[in-house]
């Protein structure tokens, strides 16, 4: 029975010294409404507590309501038809550290894909942004996107301090069946632009990490295993 007690005590010690997985999440609200600069969100980096914790995974989550308005205006003296616009308003999140300045990952975290837009625009009336030669379309959606950061970026988030998330829109559109108007050379069919872009929600960073218990805790549980074996032997 002594051998069994020693074996079980060793197993208990090893079990206690096995790293335990846990997570912590930090969230910051944000909003964007056609500003010239993206919001800068300040979040704590992962604190390894002098080596007691090891960062194993980083998840970035965006929960947000998005809205976009895209407008097209006929710049010709004739009706314009047979054209189509496809447009996207996406959430772009980039990360950096300020002191010293270090740039980390950036990624697209979901967004709004607008339905194709088409119609007939009347000849240009000489008044920008209004009239039958002008068409503006608005669409909106909500997103709840989670991205598992590549393990190569664990070092960027590790080490405590502060991480800055820069969040805002990434937009693109595709015009088919017409040419974009060039105001410098006064050639082309139509102007196309996003006249409104909004985002409002929360960005969260979740750190998954492992913790190795202190030796005193491991020894206490190992001792409990020895007492358990002795108790069973006495019965």
Kindly state whether residue 45 falls inside one of the protein's structural domains. Answer: yes
CA distance 24 to 202: 16
Is the predicted pLDDT of residue 6 greater than 50, yes or no? Answer: no
Cα–Cα distance, 39 to 83 (Å, whole number): 35
pLDDT of residue 215: 62
Residue 24 placed within a domain: no
Q: Does the structure show a pLDDT above 50 at 59?
A: yes
Region of poorest pLDDT, from 90-94, 98-102, 137-141: 98-102
Domain for residue 205, yes or no?
A: yes
pLDDT of 76 > 80? The answer is yes
Same domain assignment for residues 176 and 224: no
Residues 219 and 198 in one domain: no
pLDDT at 10: 44
| Structural domain harbouring 221 | 1-18+212-235
For residues 69 and 150, membership in a common domain is answered with yes
Do 221 and 186 share a structural domain? no
Give pLDDT tens digits for 125-162: 999 999 999 999 999 999 999 999 999 999 999 999 99
- Going by C-alpha positions, the residue among 19, 75, 26 that lies closest to residue 209 is 19
Asked, for residue 91, whether it belongs to a domain, the answer is yes
Least confident range from 20-34, 46-60, 136-150, 204-218: namely: 204-218
Contact 208, 23 (CB under 8 A): yes
User: Does residue 6 sit in the same domain as residue 67?
Assistant: no
Q: Count of domains in the chain?
A: 2
What pLDDT shows up at residue 214? 65
Domain membership of residue 163 (yes or no) is: yes
Tell me which residue of 220, 210, 219, 222 sits closest to 19, measured CA to CA.
210
Q: Which residues contact 15 (CB under 8 A, 6 or more apart)?
A: 221
pLDDT for 206 beyond 90: yes
Mean pLDDT of 57-64: 98
| Cα–chain center distance at 125 | 43
Residue 121 and residue 86 in one domain: yes
pLDDT of residue 220: 54
- Asked whether residue 139 falls in the same domain as residue 226, the answer is no
Answer yes or no: do 9 and 96 share one domain: no
- Between 176 and 19, the more confident residue is 176
Question: Quick one: 112 and 226 in the same domain?
Answer: no
Q: 215 φ, ψ to 5°?
A: -55, -35
| 218, pLDDT greater than 80 | no
Which DSSP category does 186 fall into? T
DSSP per position, 30-68: EEEES-SS--EEEEEPB--TTTTEEEEEEEEEEEEEEEE
Same domain, 230 and 184: no
Query: Is 25 inside any structural domain?
Result: no
Q: What is the mean pLDDT of residues 60-65?
A: 98
Q: Same domain, yes or no, for 147 and 226?
A: no
Whole-structure pTM value:
0.80
- Distance, in Å, from the CA atom of 198 to the CA atom of 200, rounded to the nearest integer, reads 7
In this predicted structure, the answer to whether residue 222 has a pLDDT above a threshold of 70 is no
The residue among 11 and 128 whose pLDDT is bigger is: 128
Q: What residue spans of the chain are helical by DSSP H?
A: 2-17, 154-157, 215-234
> How big is the CA angle at 21 (ends 8 and 145), to the nearest 5 degrees?
155
Identify whether residues 8 and 118 lie together within a single domain.
no
Q: Is residue 125 part of a domain?
A: yes
Question: What pLDDT, on a 0 to 100 scale, did the predictor assign at position 99?
Answer: 87
The answer to whether residue 78 scores a pLDDT higher than 50 is: yes
Do the domain assignments include residue 183?
A: yes
pLDDT of 19: 65
**Alpha-carbon distance 203 to 61, whole Å?**
6
Q: Percentage of residues in the chain with pLDDT exceeding 90?
A: 80
The pair of three-digit structure tokens given for residue 122, joined into one six-digit string: 């009347």
User: Tokens 């997570």 label which residue?
Assistant: 23
């Amino acid at each position: 029975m002594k051998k069994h007690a020693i074996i079980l005590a060793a197993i208990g010690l090893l079990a206690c010294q096995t790293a335990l997985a846990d997570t912590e999440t930090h969230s910051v609200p944000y909003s964007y409404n056609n500003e010239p600069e993206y919001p800068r969100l300040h979040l704590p980096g992962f604190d390894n507590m002098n080596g007691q914790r090891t960062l194993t995974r980083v998840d970035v989550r965006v929960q947000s309501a998005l809205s976009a308005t895209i407008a097209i205006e006929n710049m010709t003296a004739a009706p314009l038809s047979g054209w189509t616009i496809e447009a996207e308003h996406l959430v772009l999140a980039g990360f950096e550290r300020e002191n010293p300045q270090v740039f980390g990952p950036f990624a697209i975290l979901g967004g709004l894909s607008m339905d194709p837009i088409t119609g007939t625009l009347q000849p240009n009336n000489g008044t920008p942004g209004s009239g039958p030669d002008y068409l503006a379309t608005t669409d909106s959606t909500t997103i709840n996107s989670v991205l598992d950061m590549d393990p190569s970026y664990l070092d960027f988030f590790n080490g405590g301090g502060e991480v800055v998330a820069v969040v805002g829109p990434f937009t693109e559109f595709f015009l088919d069946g017409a040419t974009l108007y060039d105001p410098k050379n006064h050639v082309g069919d139509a102007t196309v632009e996003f006249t409104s872009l909004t985002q409002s929600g929360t960005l969260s960073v979740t750190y998954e990490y492992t913790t190795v218990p202190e030796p005193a805790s491991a020894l206490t549980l190992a001792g409990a295993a020895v007492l358990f074996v002795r108790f069973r032997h006495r019965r």
